Structure 1
Amino acid sequence: MLVAAAVCPCPPLLVPEVAAGAAPELDAARDACLDALGVLAAARPDLLVVVGPGDEGEAGFYPAGARGSFRGVGVGLDVALGDGRDGAPGGRPLPQSLAVGAWLLGRTRWTGAPVEGLVVDTRSGARQCAAAGADLARRAERVALLVVGDGSACRTLKAPGYLDERAAAFDHGATEALGSADLDALAALDPGLARELKAAGRAPWQLLGGAARSAGLAGRLLYEDAPYGVGYTVAAWS
């Protein structure tokens, strides 16, 4: 059963070494993420799963100890799910979203439950995501999720997806749903619109909604903003 969840964005810029001189601009987001992860630790789960978006080739489970890095963005920084001691040489490297999640856990010096990863194909439909979430919640008696994913990338003219007038409303609706643990509102997010707005977080968020269907969790919004024209939301469910 799902006992707690943390929702965080997953841009590589959350990592100060990647952001370099711009790092202070996301200090508030980093602090909110650490607060959300504190909720996971307090729940004392038997299993923690980091859930993030990815493409078809990245989708699926990643075992405890799986490794990733930020070398693709020019920084020689390596991360692992959990303490890294169980990582199998030659295993699939963590995609970007899970690497950011692993980095966040490393900042908290996570020593609790075993940590696994799950990448959700961004093309997955709402019902498929919800069903995957329900299955995930049954993996252990006490399951916690760190759900990473960004909102729209179309909030300003300089955003990665340029300006789309629909983006602010989409992000507002998603943020309201995540901040209040509104499962029906999460289920109603339009996958087609999310794809057009480059909101990769939609699929992981709908998986979270499916996992929480029988959990009775309450949500709390910790942060929302759109730096660099991309919607970032941090929330904690407990």
Structure 2
Amino acid sequence: MLVSAAVCPCPPLLVPAVAAGAAAELDAARDACADALGVLAASRPDRLIVAGPAPGPQDARPYPEGAYGSFRGYGVDVGVSLDGTAAGPGDGRDAPGDELPTSLAVAAWLLAQVAWSASPIQGLGVREPLDAETCVRTGRSIATDGERVALLVMGDASACRTLKAPGYLDGRAAAFDAEVARALATADVAALARLDETLASDLKAAGRSCWQLLAGAAEGADLTGALLYEDAPYGVGYLVAAWS
């Protein structure tokens, strides 16, 4: 059963070495992510599942605890491991094809910052885009056994909030992000489940699939939501929430 959930954005810029001189601009987001992870740890889960958008043909590709990731593609030799600890920069270089997708690498970095030790970790790369029905069904399967499961959901909101945003300015973006923020703040499972797939794709909202996976996992869990952070510093919506 799902006992808690956290939603965090997944831009590589959350990693200070990637952001370099602009690192301080996301300090508030990093602090909010740490607070959300604290909520997960406090729920004393038997297992933490980390879900994030990923490329590839599989609807939901599992990654084992300890899987390696890096930010070499962003010009920094920073390695991460999906086990709550920091990896050495040279770890995992012999098998780059098996590295964590960026969203899960960011999650691994966040978990290392809080020295996660509350439970074993399992990664799940969720194909983006993935239809809503499959997302919800996959989420339901996470919460069907007797384990106390915590879910860390990685994903950004729209990328069309300003003229300089990656997706340019789209007048629908602010309203879309506001509705997602409201749903996360109130743990509105039904609202997440019915997010418009086409609109989310138009707005380049990479978190949509994983939010809908959360909706499936949280059905009947009676969790309470809190929105910890909401901003769009680079024209991309970043949201942090905790459900408990």
Q: Which amino acid aligns with 2:79?
A: D
Q: 1:179 aligns with which of 160, 185, 192?
A: 185
CA distance in 1, matches of 2:224, 2:61: 28
1:129 has 2:130 as partner: no
In the alignment, which residue of structure 2 is the partner of 1:104? Answer: 110
TM-score, normalised with respect to structure 2? 0.93
8 Å contact from structure 2 (residues 85, 111) kept in 1: no
Name the SS of the counterpart of 2:23 in structure 1: helix
Q: Which amino acid aligns with 2:65?
A: A
The structural deviation recorded for 1:49 is: 0.8
In the alignment, which residue of structure 1 is the partner of 2:82? Answer: 81
Matched ranges for 1:1-238 at <5 A: 1-57=1-57, 59-83=60-84, 90=95, 92-238=98-244
CA distance in 1, matches of 2:44, 2:199: 36
CA distance in 2, matches of 1:205, 1:39: 18
Cα deviation digits, residues 1-34 of structure 1 (max 9, x gap): 0000010000000011110100110011000000
Q: Which amino acid aligns with 1:27?
A: D
8 Å contact from structure 1 (residues 66, 84) kept in 2: no
8 Å contact from structure 2 (residues 13, 23) kept in 1: yes
CA distance in 1, matches of 2:190, 2:84: 36
Q: Which amino acid aligns with 1:143?
A: V
CA distance in 1, matches of 2:56, 2:184: 25
The structural deviation recorded for 1:138 is: 2.5
CA distance in 1, matches of 2:45, 2:189: 21
Name the SS of the counterpart of 1:19 in structure 2: helix
Segments of structure 2 that go 5 or more residues without pairing to the other structure are: none
TM-score, normalised with respect to structure 1? 0.96
Superposed CA RMSD: 1.7
Q: Which amino acid aligns with 2:197?
A: P
Q: Which amino acid aligns with 1:116?
A: Q
Segments of structure 1 that go 5 or more residues without pairing to the other structure are: none
Name the SS of the counterpart of 1:228 in structure 2: coil
Cα deviation digits, residues 123-157 of structure 1 (max 9, x gap): 21111101000101135510001101000000000
8 Å contact from structure 1 (residues 68, 99) kept in 2: yes
**After the TM superposition, which parts of structure 1 deviate over 6 Å for at least 4 consecutive aligned residues?**
none
Q: What fraction of aligned residue pairs are identical, expressed as a percent? A: 64
Cα deviation digits, residues 174-231 of structure 1 (max 9, x gap): 1110111001110110111111100000000000010000211010010100010000
